[in-house]
Structure 1
């Protein structure tokens, strides 16, 4: 999940690491033979066995101190209303209740807005702006008592008009929750007028709930003076720290936030956890007892944000060959009642509205609309998928108009040379390997023969129609809020040679801790089982960025390597002095240090260094070089590099019911020189399935009163094991190596493959189009549920 925050800051010029750090980190790799768990090798996730045996400890598994209290939220039952009366006497008198928190009980500022706009109260004060907004919190001796008591509140409302949909919000002249963005290059309007062919269209793209296995939870333990420790399932410990301090009215140094691991995050635990951390901390300090808050899944889904829904209006002008001449796009998003991360999410949708294609003249506008729904937030891809799917719809429109295979249209519009290498935000695409990725997948997936087989099958008529599509992805890597592209790490080597590593990233199942440990093992040439990574905590590494934007390994891996190199340099200098030799003759080899002709076991060497009073601890740091972004002008280099991939999917559709299944998917994805191929492959597989779910089965639905009705697994369908492609081939582009100096020349993997699920959506469109002999691009909105597929078929038949 990716994130950037919209805050007031000076326009950043090109940033580079400080020279000493740069010099350290740009050293060449060394021989890693004989090291268990070295980089570029398969190694299972460090907690994999604990995951499958149930021994992995999460926030809810922490032993509760005697006297622990439990909190539960009371939620609004109106989409937009003034609170005329809030009667909580029945709540306070309920069995086991210790007390109730309302807005007036907040000691500091009643706000957990991540952008500092003061538009997201912890507890509603006088007015509610979405169904499910927290109004009060019950504090009781048990969770069950708190949950039951919360239902006893009596709230009377004065209803106000509400708006739910982004296009309806535009028509109603609702305000933006955050300033919009315009990306412009050339003169799109005049180029459109002069184009040989023009197509206009509108596409609705649904949202998505994170539906992680572990829901939101926070556990606060009060300390002396102003201190409080908060254990939480959050992707952004430093932000949770600042938000708790803000709500308590204390400095950040009074708040410690700890995260051992999360049972899934996907962006939903980047800002949404702030609410729960704040409530737990306020209650803990008020009653001076530990407090835990864990909502039921229904309330969790109702009260927390999701992927943004979009309504996209596009127009494309193109020549007789299908090559694009101009593109315009209006991207309206359902943002919810407050800004949250909607500014950078809608920005990133525009950043990826080109996907892998060159638009000679382009004009793109975002419309982050205020709606009376829960405030939407980060989700894997962070707006990028909504931009990419618009680009793919444009390719399909041109292909059906010209009667050409959509893959051929994609190829004709790829970024290339001769000036066809500048994005709508004026960054030059320097590392374009999309054509090679697509070409190799086209061959390995046997696309041409299979497409002809699909056409032959459909030509026979019949109830079941087939479809096939091959779609690429180009995804920019970096936070576009430049200041978030930094990380820290703390590394200790103890006198027995064991190593303790802490970094600012959070582990949510993606294998970040394993990869970072591999980096340190490689640098110090020790087996990975010598390294222990402990919980992420604001006590050890301050001012961390969220583990998001697919940057966890890029940033924290580099910071950890920097710390290892600092210690290694000290040890090298010590060895040269102690053994009276040149530093160049000191080499770290497999679990030992070679000094001239003598080889000393690593643990023995460390013991000698300790006795000689060598500092065996270091704080590492890294900031991404080269990036800069000026939002006011819509120009810059917001991304350090791009990750690429492609997927080919084939589907079968029942034209009588709209039901379908994915017969086969082939994926070739670019992760640069992988730190851990088996973990990266797992990330590609999971991202594809999650992206497929977003576009096929996962439907969010609000009734006309503004209540979310898909608020539990019983009404919200994520992909099951049975929904996976019947044949599923996933490969990494093992020839790829990042041209930028990233950690060991790897590339990010968390978000880019999510968009490969678009291949399933376009394959469904291809099958639907067959009922009209491929003469019309189907108006298929996402998610393409069986109902929507059937309606699209009937429209083409009619």
Structure 2
């Protein structure tokens, strides 16, 4: 009897949510069979473009002689500002301050001035170097403080967040500290660089294959520059080899140049800069200089915070407005500030325009919050974790739940999450052992830190919080899924397909995930702000539910049962006592002329934001996390090693735990790299000298923690109605890397018996660590 049951048991479907499933392209990634933009077969006659760039940081263009460029072997022609048929503007926020090519002035070293189009990429690249350009060189400012001192303007409107009254709080404070921290930028260092491949069509049409996180924006930019309607431009993205925000707005230039050339010469055109030009001509994470003033009592409770966040924005606004806004939104991190005033200063500088990067300004705000905690802890001689706990957000009952932007923190799970990590990482015992070790060791010093993250999820530009999806069910029962999100290695397509498979209760393999294209889903938002799965998963679920409703109604009518008696399970449909294979029901529905295609849509509820007032609910919910990291520092050289990291992170009710865990691990390593080794450096002439992997150090496999324990808070469930009660995972864990930065600070502070905050600037390179050690030694 038992054997008989096993023989006839229905197998569970291979689709569905809340279960581990490998990335749908994993095998293709590791075997090299995954097709990227550069793998698309080039039609006969394909041309190649390359950018000619400025050799000065700031100057008037007196003359530009391109005769030698045009005469170079293999060159078909040159694109300049005079060749733009529409508008010379690719500003993503409508500020009209970012030209395709400048007309009068160059405003950063490496700014694209023209493009060469040739029979080969090598020919175009060599020819671009032959331009003779005469400049009237002007003074330049490279960082936000130099720009302020030189009287440079703000590149976009600043933001002020204010609650309470800081003046009397400062006057009556038991303790007060003022300080400054410099927080470095970061290059995206995606594996696949920027690339666009344009194929001209009839009339105004052009199709652009590219590596962008924002296909609709690329579509609109190409149309804007060509002077044609958006319906003439199709943008296609199968997958990206990484993005991290660097392909949200920065791809616009490359798409536009390829499309302009394709239409001008009526031939396919590809543009792919080498790594050096990619790094010098595209924007990065914003550098910040934060001035803070904090009042606190003798127990370490914060009473007031006044902060000014000056950012290196570059020569144009790009996304600096929302990035510097989000830095202020996260300048509280996990802590309640009774009285607070936060102001942004987005400074124009003679550098490439900085742009979106994982966390979108939030990480810089969190670093500032953690520096304030650190200052208080060293001033009072207490464990920084105790200060963190004393300042956590509370609830309505204790009046400690309102953020500086007047949104209530309603779902704070940090006390439980921190408590569990403190216990599982053995933080207290290890900290005590480290204190004893440092007392005995004169050269090697250890440090440990446990830091939290509270990160708001939603685009602060409310209109971006929408998504569309398109699902077809073919008459053989196979399913075609398309949505507006883009796949850059994070597993978005896998998760959305799992949602659809779960809705129909069919195998994952039944679903064909297709490239993102503006032909199928219009007006898409960027895959950014950790919202890819939240938005596109819900849009796909909406489309699936429409189709399921039609199939349910058809099955009920066909088999003479009530609709509530129709259920989907294990690739079958149960209609009363009848059990019909999913394929058969779909075939029957097709023959009965049931519509088997649906467009889904979703918009995030509850959110609103009044920027002028600095009040609202910009975030639908918060994601939480915590990391405990231990380091050892050689005080003779400043070199260090990360011995151990323990992470407990909140992803709600995970759609795919193994993919989410991978995102947490990768985000931590990238955040750690930002704060330790990834240093951007410009010389006196405004030239970016860290412009290749040879001079810019991202973390290697050997840099990871020697012991690396990563777990998800599997008990968490999103209180808001997100897709299957999951939470975003792309950006929040990036800030877990701050635990390494704080642990390094403790190791350095031990040199002076923890009496003083070392005030390390980021990144805490070995050189900076060594200088901080020497500075503290000299004060002994």
- Please, what TM-score do these two structures have when normalized by structure 1? 0.96
Deviations 1:754-787 (A, max 9, x none): 0000000000000000000000000200000000
1:639 is paired with a residue whose SS is coil
Counterpart residue number, 1:542: 522
Matched, 1:510 2:490: yes
Counterpart residue number, 1:89: 67
8 Å CA contact retained: 2:653, 2:725: yes
Counterpart residue number, 2:448: 468
Pick from 349, 361, 365 the counterpart of residue 383 of structure 1. Answer: 361
Counterpart residue number, 1:632: 612
The 5-angstrom pairing of residues 446-461 of structure 1 reads 446-461=426-441
Deviations 1:539-593 (A, max 9, x none): 0000000000000000000000000000110111111111111111111111010
- Tell me, in whole angstroms, the C-alpha distance in 2 between the residues paired with 1:562 and 1:33: 27
1:690 is paired with a residue whose SS is helix
- Tell me, in whole angstroms, the C-alpha distance in 2 between the residues paired with 1:184 and 1:697: 35
* Runs of 5+ consecutive residues of structure 2 not aligned to the other structure: 1-9
Pick from 143, 147, 159 the counterpart of residue 169 of structure 1. Answer: 147
The answer to which of 454-463 and 637-646 deviates more is 454-463
8 Å CA contact retained: 2:15, 2:505: no
- Tell me, in whole angstroms, the C-alpha distance in 1 between the residues paired with 2:771 and 2:503: 58
Counterpart residue number, 1:786: 766
Counterpart residue number, 1:653: 633
- Tell me, in whole angstroms, the C-alpha distance in 2 between the residues paired with 1:504 and 1:667: 32
The 5-angstrom pairing of residues 454-533 of structure 1 reads 454-533=434-513
Counterpart residue number, 2:248: 270
Counterpart residue number, 2:220: 242
- Tell me, in whole angstroms, the C-alpha distance in 2 between the residues paired with 1:427 and 1:390: 20
The 5-angstrom pairing of residues 574-593 of structure 1 reads 574-593=554-573
Counterpart residue number, 1:252: 230
- Tell me, in whole angstroms, the C-alpha distance in 1 between the residues paired with 2:635 and 2:729: 36
- Tell me, in whole angstroms, the C-alpha distance in 1 between the residues paired with 2:173 and 2:13: 60
- Tell me, in whole angstroms, the C-alpha distance in 2 between the residues paired with 1:193 and 1:601: 75
- Tell me, in whole angstroms, the C-alpha distance in 2 between the residues paired with 1:181 and 1:464: 44
- Tell me, in whole angstroms, the C-alpha distance in 1 between the residues paired with 2:769 and 2:415: 31
Counterpart residue number, 2:749: 769
Pick from 406, 416, 421 the counterpart of residue 441 of structure 1. Answer: 421
Pick from 673, 676, 687 the counterpart of residue 656 of structure 2. Answer: 676
- Tell me, in whole angstroms, the C-alpha distance in 2 between the residues paired with 1:140 and 1:610: 51
* Runs of 5+ consecutive residues of structure 1 not aligned to the other structure: 1-31
The 5-angstrom pairing of residues 90-489 of structure 1 reads 90-417=68-395, 418-489=398-469
Counterpart residue number, 1:24: none
2:445 is paired with a residue whose SS is strand
The 5-angstrom pairing of residues 6-17 of structure 1 reads none
- Post-superposition shift, 1:189? 2.2
- Tell me, in whole angstroms, the C-alpha distance in 1 between the residues paired with 2:102 and 2:515: 33
- Tell me, in whole angstroms, the C-alpha distance in 2 between the residues paired with 1:53 and 1:751: 28
- Tell me, in whole angstroms, the C-alpha distance in 2 between the residues paired with 1:771 and 1:623: 53
Deviations 1:259-294 (A, max 9, x none): 000000000000000000000000000000000000
Counterpart residue number, 1:28: none
Counterpart residue number, 1:16: none
Matched, 1:611 2:588: no
- Tell me, in whole angstroms, the C-alpha distance in 1 between the residues paired with 2:594 and 2:441: 79
Deviations 1:1-57 (A, max 9, x none): xxxxxxxxxxxxxxxxxxxxxxxxxxxxxxx98221310000000000000000000
Question: For the structure 1 residues 42 and 535, does the alpha-carbon distance in structure 2 shift closer, same or farther, using more than 3 Å as the test?
Answer: same
Counterpart residue number, 2:4: none
Matched, 1:727 2:707: yes
Counterpart residue number, 1:13: none
- Please, what TM-score do these two structures have when normalized by structure 2? 0.98
- Tell me, in whole angstroms, the C-alpha distance in 1 between the residues paired with 2:687 and 2:66: 23
Deviations 1:318-340 (A, max 9, x none): 00100000000000000000000
- Tell me, in whole angstroms, the C-alpha distance in 2 between the residues paired with 1:538 and 1:510: 21
1:392 is paired with a residue whose SS is helix
Pick from 667, 676, 693 the counterpart of residue 713 of structure 1. Answer: 693
- Tell me, in whole angstroms, the C-alpha distance in 2 between the residues paired with 1:320 and 1:118: 51
Counterpart residue number, 1:8: none
The answer to which of 33-42 and 622-631 deviates more is 33-42
1:125 is paired with a residue whose SS is coil
- Tell me, in whole angstroms, the C-alpha distance in 2 between the residues paired with 1:193 and 1:239: 49
2:311 is paired with a residue whose SS is strand
1:622 is paired with a residue whose SS is strand
- Tell me, in whole angstroms, the C-alpha distance in 2 between the residues paired with 1:212 and 1:589: 41
- Post-superposition shift, 1:194? 1.3
8 Å CA contact retained: 2:276, 2:692: yes
- Tell me, in whole angstroms, the C-alpha distance in 2 between the residues paired with 1:781 and 1:397: 13
- Tell me, in whole angstroms, the C-alpha distance in 2 between the residues paired with 1:443 and 1:766: 20
Deviations 1:353-382 (A, max 9, x none): 000000000000000000000000000000
Matched, 1:60 2:38: yes
Deviations 1:513-543 (A, max 9, x none): 0000000000001000000010000000000
- Tell me, in whole angstroms, the C-alpha distance in 2 between the residues paired with 1:190 and 1:107: 59
- Tell me, in whole angstroms, the C-alpha distance in 2 between the residues paired with 1:70 and 1:116: 29
- Tell me, in whole angstroms, the C-alpha distance in 1 between the residues paired with 2:777 and 2:323: 38
Aligned residues, how many? 767
Counterpart residue number, 1:29: none
Provide runs of 4+ in structure 1 moved above 4 Å.
none
1:353 is paired with a residue whose SS is coil
- Post-superposition shift, 1:123? 1.2
